[in-house]
Amino acid sequence: MSGRQENRQSKKALIVGSGIAGLASAIRLRRLGFDVEVFEKNAYPGGKLTSFKLGAYHFDAGPSLFTMPHLVEELLEKNILEYVKSETACHYFWEDDTVIKFPADIKQLINEVPKQLNVAAEPLKKHFERSKYIYDKTHKVFIERSLHKLNFNLDLIKAIIAIPKLFIFNTMHRVNKRKLNHPKLVQIFDRYATYNGSSPYLAPGILNIIPHLEHGIGTFFPTNGMQAITDVLVKEATELGVVFHYNQKVEKIIVQSKICKGLETNDSIFKGEIVVCNSDIKPAYNYLLKGEKKPKKTMEQEPSSSALIFYWGIDKKFEELDLHNILFSENYEQEFEAIFKDKTIYEDPTVYIHVSSKIVKNSAPLNGENWFVMINVPYNSGQDWEKLREKARKYILEKINRILKTDIEKHIVCEDYLDPIRIEERTSSFGGALYGASSNDRMAAFFRHPNFSKVKGLYFVGGSVHPGGGIPLCLNSAKIACEIIAKDF
């Protein structure tokens, strides 16, 4: 560290939570020369990005899709994250026995998939071009910078000029229906709205940026499972001298006359000039910052969807399955209405099956697989989750049996589950929402909380603030916050 950075070491940065954004902030701030301490209420780091063992099976508990690995790599100087690039993005299944093995590579995809569906390739090609166009015009302004501190520069001018072609004023589904020439393609591309917990029937068409991330930039998977991302960041942070306090719930962020002074945990008081809050923004204002004025628009935003997951140890190998698999609902629109309007589960849910043992050695016995079986569900607003879980399990089993022509229950040797209540308990996410606020409102991006605040020394990172949920955006939130901190201090 340089002499200038050494001087800064007297300044202390305290981080509330060790989610992916908290870990990335810890590494960045330590490199800027701050003394960094992380306070985590759980006994383990990573928040949603964690894993567990059940008998002979090992499961990634939360995220399973890994895009933009360079955002992790740029945090690592001493350690390496090992991962592979996927050749296939996903296996899609329908009730009419159609199976599409969707290649990750765009050229291969455009060459193969339209032939299988007996449609022209041009609309699909154009769709990917539009996706790249949205990415090129917006990522520097909306994803990599603070939306709330925009500089009037060339990137912003380009984004403003591009607005008519960003499909902000149409829903994602309407755009996809108009532009793509087969209902199955529409359903595949509509699904990308779920990558940030939204409905394609409500979210704006600008979300069509997501296919470019998965296919244009690529889809990847850590060879030791998703937990490896958390592990490598904790290792890097620890080697840099970041101090971790586990089982330390932060009860209060101490603010005096609009200046941050530190925080109070269940154990003691810690002083510091900077607090980076990686806790969900709603509980942060409701419990940690009780005396501070709440940001009304942010607090009123509709939460994103949550998830119901069954982790099943399976005693059989299913060759037709890949790392990521989707068994589509027959009526996608009704499914999203059930989730976002009726706030319940749908009787014919789209089922996602993630089988990390296809890649991660020793995560299942030789003749078995570790199934992570997930459906999208509403955030918790007081539903009877025990009842819903029971119903959902039945619907999921029936769907899998119909499509994979099996009797899957016979092959389940061990089982656990995650539902919105457990997600909220374990990570403090409001209502167990996976991605903070949904993007169902065209203005949602503007109402997300900025990465800074009106309190000097207080910053926010993670899936519930700008630029949004999901691993890449959370990592960007840390980058933006730390750039602001570097300027402020």
Which residues here bind ligand FAD, judged by CB under 6 A? 16-22, 39-42, 47-49, 62-65, 249-250, 278-279, 307, 309, 423, 427-429, 434-435, 462-463, 469-471, 474
Nearest distance from C-beta of residue 157 to ligand FAD, angstroms:
30
Closest CA to 321 of 403, 418, 402: 403
Nearest distance from C-beta of residue 95 to ligand FAD, angstroms:
25
- The smaller minimum CB distance to ligand FAD, of residues 171 and 279, is found at 279
Is 372 strand, coil or helix?
strand
Nearest distance from C-beta of residue 86 to ligand FAD, angstroms:
13
Taking each helix axis as running N to C, give the angle between helix 183-190 and helix 172-179, from 0 to 180 degrees, rounded to the nearest 10. 150
- Contact yes or no for 216/227 (Cβ under 8 A): no
Nearest distance from C-beta of residue 464 to ligand FAD, angstroms:
7
Beta-sheet pairing, 57-60 with 83-85? unpaired
Nearest distance from C-beta of residue 94 to ligand FAD, angstroms:
22
Nearest distance from C-beta of residue 116 to ligand FAD, angstroms:
26
First to last CA, the chain: 17
Nearest distance from C-beta of residue 89 to ligand FAD, angstroms:
12
Distances (CA, A) of 300 to 60, 294, 297, 448, 449: 32, 10, 5, 10, 11
- The smaller minimum CB distance to ligand FAD, of residues 16 and 141, is found at 16
Nearest distance from C-beta of residue 414 to ligand FAD, angstroms:
19
Full DSSP string of 305-345: -EEEEEEEEESS--TT--SEEEE--S-HHHHHHHHHTS-S-
Q: What is the DSSP letter of 286?
A: I
Strands (E), 369-460: 369-377, 412-418, 458-460
Half-sphere exposure of 284 (CA within 13 A, CB side): 28
CA distance 146 to 157: 16
- The smaller minimum CB distance to ligand FAD, of residues 65 and 72, is found at 65
- Contact yes or no for 207/168 (Cβ under 8 A): no
Nearest distance from C-beta of residue 130 to ligand FAD, angstroms:
22
CA-derived radius of gyration, the chain: 22
- Residue type present at position 267: D
CA distance 25 to 7: 20
Taking each helix axis as running N to C, give the angle between helix 20-31 and helix 227-240, from 0 to 180 degrees, rounded to the nearest 10. 30
Cβ-based neighbours of 198, under 8 Å, separated by 6 or more: 207, 304, 305, 438, 439, 440
Strands (E), 328-446: 351-355, 369-377, 412-418
- The smaller minimum CB distance to ligand FAD, of residues 407 and 425, is found at 425
Nearest distance from C-beta of residue 336 to ligand FAD, angstroms:
18
- The smaller minimum CB distance to ligand FAD, of residues 114 and 420, is found at 420
Nearest distance from C-beta of residue 483 to ligand FAD, angstroms:
17
- Residue type present at position 98: T
Provide the H-helix boundaries in 205-313. Answer: 210-211, 227-240, 281-283, 296-300
Locate 210 and state its tokens. Answer: 């997501």
- The smaller minimum CB distance to ligand FAD, of residues 15 and 206, is found at 15
Beta bridge pairs of residue 270: 263
Is 264 strand, coil or helix?
strand
- The smaller minimum CB distance to ligand FAD, of residues 250 and 482, is found at 250
Nearest distance from C-beta of residue 334 to ligand FAD, angstroms:
23
- The smaller minimum CB distance to ligand FAD, of residues 71 and 206, is found at 71
- The smaller minimum CB distance to ligand FAD, of residues 206 and 226, is found at 226
- The smaller minimum CB distance to ligand FAD, of residues 403 and 418, is found at 418
